[in-house]
Amino acid sequence: MSKLVLVAVGGNALIRPGQSGTVDEQFQNAMEVAAPVVQLLKAGYRVVLAHGNGPQIGAALMRSEIAAGEVYRLPYDCCVAATQGEIGYVLQHALWQMLQREKLDVQVVSLITQVVVDRRDPAFHHPTKPIGPFYSKGVADRYCHQLGWSVAQDSTKGWRRVVPSPEPKEIVELEAIRACVDRGLMVIAGGGGGVPVFNDHDISKGVEAVIDKDLTSALLASRLDADILAIATGVPRVFLDYQKPTERAVERLTTDECRRYLAEGQFPEGSMGPKIHATVLYLEQGGKEAVITDIAHLLAAIIGEAGTHIRSSKSND
């Protein structure tokens, strides 16, 4: 059977820095994501595509806030599900157009994906992930009182809501995703890290939390026994001493080296850190190989001609 690649792209893949995020911009950017993914399919690989939703979730939350006086307010988990549908459609449409152009008969499907988190996760006692728009101190305090939000000052722009960021434990729709892959479909899943849920049979309310997209991608790749976890980011390779005079690209890393560089602060939490952490988790759970690159070099990275390749230290013993 052909190799299975789980490709994870960030939310900024569809809304680039400096763009306003119009639908036209997102469709155009989606074509640039679709092209290398279709190259993978054309080369005979099977593909599962995961994506972030950072810019889109912010817009969804703001729409909910602005319209709250006229229609019901959407909780965060519903906004995650909404962005999974929105982004999934944009990517599906771009892939469908590109697949027709290449005369490839591959069906693409997007699945709303729930991800189980642990109610006892320490993150629920220390909400730290900022989401949504900025508020004045007065408005933020009012929402804390009325809606039970946690808020924190975010730089000099004002106050923002903060929510927990627990670790993903299980993919609820795993077997549905696997069935689609086994039937030869390309699946878009795990969008925005997944909709966080508790497995406690309580449907009275969802879980308002942010799951890191790269961690969910690592978990999904592991559970699907994917041959390669490919994380697409804004640079063609991982760099040490990034943006310093001593900056240097790295072609290969082991999990031991990744842990050492993480401890040294080489990979910041708001930048390359979560991606490195995710690849280590995937490899420690039996994954074969991980690669980090930009979307333009995706196929070249998969065949070993670009990107930073990461393997388990145990495989090098």
List, in sequence order, every beta strand (DSSP E) within the chain.
4-9, 46-51, 108-110, 114-116, 129-135, 150-154, 158-163, 170-171, 186-188, 195-197, 228-233, 238-240, 248-250, 252-254, 289-294, 308-311
For the beta carbon of residue 101, count every other beta carbon within 10 angstroms.
11
Question: Of 11, 88, 132, 190, which residue is the catalytic one?
Answer: 11
Distances (CA, A) of 302 to 209, 215, 316: 33, 20, 19
| Residue 213 known to be catalytic | yes
Tokens at 8, concatenated: 């994870």
Residue 259 is which amino acid? R
CA pair distance 300, 293, nearest whole angstrom = 9
Question: Of 3, 129, 158, 288, which residue is the catalytic one?
Answer: 129
| Residue 205 known to be catalytic | no
| Residue 244 known to be catalytic | no
CA pair distance 100, 36, nearest whole angstrom = 15
**Residue located via tokens 């890393």:** 253
Question: Of 53, 191, 213, 307, which residue is the catalytic one?
Answer: 213
Question: Of 12, 21, 42, 158, which residue is the catalytic one?
Answer: 12
| Residue 275 known to be catalytic | yes
CA pair distance 37, 192, nearest whole angstrom = 19
| Residue 18 known to be catalytic | no
CA pair distance 271, 261, nearest whole angstrom = 14
Question: Of 191, 275, 287, 307, which residue is the catalytic one?
Answer: 275
Residue spans of alpha helices (H) in 148-297:
174-182, 213-223, 255-264, 273-284
The partner residues of 239 in beta bridges, in order of sequence, read 249
- Which residues lie below 8 Å from residue 220, measured CB to CB, with a gap of 6+? 6, 48, 50, 171, 174, 177, 189, 190, 226
- Annotated catalytic residues are 11-12, 129, 213, 275
